[in-house]
């Protein structure tokens, strides 16, 4: 299959590498050097513009920071819309915004191009292991057309409903992750300050009912070790939590817990900056409480 992949960021690049192993792949990235390095390492072609990437592609995959970035990429003489052929399919793996996705799908439908929002979960490790979960929104037949591409990097592919529902699912998932990171950070800081060694607290938590993905995987790998690697930007998690609040508001559901999480995350982002990792708010909790959660 002829496939184009646009957006070779932290998670896009390992996803695209799996696509290159099974399909004829053309890549485009805003920062050209990343596309050149990717193509040299993975045997793909580099397109100089989004239009040229889309030309001749049966399936185009985008993995950008936000839906606004995709809307921008569609337009103009060198935009995706100028290159996408009638009958082509756009799979948007960005963790995007449902309302924007419905707009994008409508715009693409005018030129006979299908759209599926297909955000992923599983992190950079999951992308490298081709073990991501895809939360899809769109027509079942469109998802079936995209499946041979999604299967390159996903272990599980779930259709949630019409366009936008994949992005809604992903945003709420990440909002719950955000709230949990903050809550686990606060709880462990309290235990350490109360005199319980961090490793012991985490071990017992993980044998008890308060355990979670954060306490079982993220804290042992990144916080107890002090490693804090940058794999997913806090700015992106903040964006996702905001989208989840929009989803709740549009559905008429009050979400004060998520709102509080969003406020705390936005405050942490303002202090830590755009390149900080999503676990780093725990550093701020440590600083404020005067303890370190380390083994
Ligand atoms: P990065 O910030 O590492 O990469 C973002 C990508 O989008 C880069 O290729 C960047 O280009 C491109 N981009 C950003 N703005 C624009 C723009 N205006 N026009 C064109 N290209 C643009 O993000 P990730 O790879 O980590 O994340 C990508 C998406 O996947 C996000 O929506 C994120 O929320 C989601 N996600 C990320 C996960 C992770 O663990 N990292 C996990 C699950 C989902 P350039 O190289 O030029 O900056």
C-alpha to C-alpha distance for 11 and 198, rounded to whole angstroms: 31
pLDDT of 254 reads 98
State the closest ligand 1 atom to the C-alpha of 7, by its place in the atom list counted from 1. 9
What phi, psi does 123 have (nearest 5°)? 75, 180
How far away, in angstroms, is 287 Cα from ligand 1 center? 29
Spatial CB neighbours of 28, under 8 Å, sequence gap ≥ 6 = 4, 5, 6, 35, 46, 47, 48, 49, 50, 52, 53
Condensed to tens digits (0 to 9), the pLDDT of residues 216-253 reads 999 999 999 999 999 999 999 999 999 999 999 999 99
Q: Is 244 in the pocket of ligand 1 (CB under 6 A)?
A: no
CA 88 to mean position of chain CA atoms: 23
What's the confidence (pLDDT) of residue 242? 98
**Does residue 10 contact residue 237 with C-beta atoms inside 8 Å?**
no
Residue 97: alpha-carbon gap to chain centroid: 12
Cβ–ligand 1 contact at 62 (below 6 Å):
no
Residue closest to 245 by CA, chosen among 163, 178, 161, 159 = 178
Below-70 pLDDT ranges, the chain: none
Tell me, what's the pLDDT at 71?
A: 98
C-alpha to C-alpha distances, 53 to 4, 28, 32, 92, 202, nearest whole angstrom: 6, 6, 13, 15, 47
- Tell the residue nearest (CA) to atom 46 of ligand 1: 31
Please say if 170 is a catalytic residue: yes
Distance (Å) from CA 259 to ligand 1 centroid: 24
CA of 64 to the centre of ligand 1 (A): 4
Contact yes or no for 118/135 (Cβ under 8 A): yes
Q: Is 69's C-beta closer than 6 angstroms to any atom of ligand 1? A: yes
Interior/surface letters 249-282, b for 16+ CB within 10 angstroms, e for the rest: eeeeeebeebbebbebbeebbeebeeebbbbbbb
Ligand 1 centre distance from Cα of residue 206 (Å): 32
**What pLDDT is recorded for position 149?**
99
Q: What is the pLDDT of residue 126?
A: 98
Q: Report pTM.
A: 0.97
Q: Which of 170, 200, 239, 262 is catalytic?
A: 170
Q: Which atom of ligand 1 is nearest to the CA of 121?
A: 43
pLDDT at 264: 98
Does residue 134's CB lie within 6 angstroms of at least one atom of ligand 1? Answer: no
Best residue among 5, 6, 7 to mutate for probing ligand 1, ranked by most atoms within 8 Å of CB: 7
Centroid of ligand 1 to alpha carbon of 96 (angstroms) = 11
Beta carbons of 77 and 101 less than 8 angstroms apart: no
Residue 290 · residue 193 · CB < 8 Å: yes
* Residue of 48, 127, 117 lying closest to 83 (CA atoms): 48
Rounded to 5 degrees, what are φ and ψ at 10? -55, -40
């Amino acid at each position: 299959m002829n496939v184009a992949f646009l957006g070779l960021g932290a998670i896009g690049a390992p996803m695209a590498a799996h696509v290159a192993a099974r399909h004829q792949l053309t890549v485009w990235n805003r920062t050209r050097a990343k596309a050149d390095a990717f193509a040299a390492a993975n045997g793909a072609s580099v397109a100089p513009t989004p239009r040229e990437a889309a030309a001749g592609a049966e399936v185009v995959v985008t993995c950008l920071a936000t839906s606004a970035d995709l809307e921008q990429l569609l337009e103009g003489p060198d935009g995706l819309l100028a290159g996408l052929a009638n009958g082509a399919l756009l799979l948007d793996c960005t963790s995007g915004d449902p309302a924007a996705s419905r707009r994008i799908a409508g715009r693409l439908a005018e030129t006979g191009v299908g759209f599926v929002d297909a955000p992923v979960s599983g992190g950079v490790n999951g992308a490298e292991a081709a073990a991501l979960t895809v939360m899809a929104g769109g027509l079942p037949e469109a998802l079936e057309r995209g499946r041979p591409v999604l299967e390159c990097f996903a272990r599980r592919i779930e259709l949630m409903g019409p366009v936008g529902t994949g992005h809604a699912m992903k945003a709420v998932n990440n909002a719950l992750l955000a709230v949990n990171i903050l809550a686990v950070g606060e709880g462990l800081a309290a235990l350490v300050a109360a005199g319980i060694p961090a490793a012991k607290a985490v071990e017992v938590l993980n044998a008890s009912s308060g355990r979670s993905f954060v306490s079982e995987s993220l804290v042992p790998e990144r916080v107890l070790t002090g490693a804090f690697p940058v794999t997913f930007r806090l700015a992106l998690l903040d964006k996702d939590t905001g989208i989840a609040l929009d989803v709740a508001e549009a559905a008429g559901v009050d979400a004060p817990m998520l709102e509080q999480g969003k406020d705390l995350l936005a405050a942490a982002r303002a202090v830590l900056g755009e390149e900080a990792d999503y676990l780093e708010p725990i550093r701020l909790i440590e600083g404020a409480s005067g303890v370190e959660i380390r083994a």
